[in-house]
Structure 1
Amino acid sequence: MISQWVKKSQSLENGIALINQLEDTKFDQFLRRIVAKCKLQDNEIFTEEEKVKLEKIFKMNEEKLLLTIKTIIYLFKKMLKFLFMPANLKLDLNNIGLNCEKADVFVKVWSTETRIALDELGTEKINDSVDSLTFPWKLNAELSSDFHKKCKVPKTYFTFAREEEELELELSHPDVYSVFLQFELIQNELDNLM
């Protein structure tokens, strides 16, 4: 179980084992409901009546159901904090123990939620002042330091600037490449919509 974005624990392993036991045909809807409630920051994902029904549907007791729900929430919140290529995310999910069917559903729901979040970001800020948004960038190379003798570390600095605010990002070569692949994926999705 090796992943940089998830910490290994016995509770996580137990939760993943329970997720893998869930019926594939009902898992998609179950996952989408949990994600939708998390977005609303609703403390109660399921009512008591719904929990009782889910216990019967998935043939598990209340304790196991709660661990399953908590594991899904944990994984999904972690996934939303990182940029992934869908294939890499699926591989990571398989590496932490999810079976292929469950990993596919997670990736599908994650892709949809990420697309919605990016669409919302795009319409809120950029459409208000398209003309005032600038995108300067610069490239610096750290040639050496006390820690890295005779080492060249290229870094790119992107600045997203508007009239009142400015955001600067420092990216390494692999980071820039990953962002490029994400933009390429977004462009392909946009091209498919046209």
Structure 2
Amino acid sequence: MDTAPRPSTSDLTVTASDLTFRDATDADVDALVSLIQSAYRGDASRAGWTTEADILQGQRTDPQGVVDVIKSSASKLLTVERDGGIVACCQLEHRGEYAYFGMFAVSPALQGAGLGKVIMAEAERRVREAWGVREMHMTVISVRDELIAWYERRGYRRTGKMTPFPYGDERFGVPQRDDLQFELLVKPLV
């Protein structure tokens, strides 16, 4: 077991100038699936604060799910690199009047360093400029209070609109509780 102390957040602070943003390509699929899995599922995800390991097991996504986002004419998978390696990603999908923000993952080793805030600001800027949308929508598992609070601090508001979790479809994981549902969060982009 590694007993080296984890660097403090102040040692890891990330700024936009440290990052390269680009659209994902087919060559990125395996790295992106690994990143997304590491941010949310299994023991590796426990190094960060976004883990879903206690509420969901199994996969978070699969290669086909990532390819589908990359190939869709209505979406992009924004890939974020630092020092030549992929450290984060997010899905941006044009849905008429608004953009959808999803598949957001930050390397657990960099969580808490400000990377998420930088990526969200860049994602919001890109959808305003590229698609002229005035709102960003996302869905979050409603029992993820800490994560929802983080999004609220970034200007997203809870709507109370819920959609069911896809129980029985292991492409989205294996639920460890029976009260999971998604809540819609919305932010005006002005």
Q: Same fold (TM over 0.5)?
A: no
Structure showing greater relative contact order (alpha-carbon pairs closer than 8 Å, 6 or more residues apart): 2
Q: TM-score range by the shorter chain?
A: under 0.3
Structure (1 or 2) with the greater helix fraction: 1
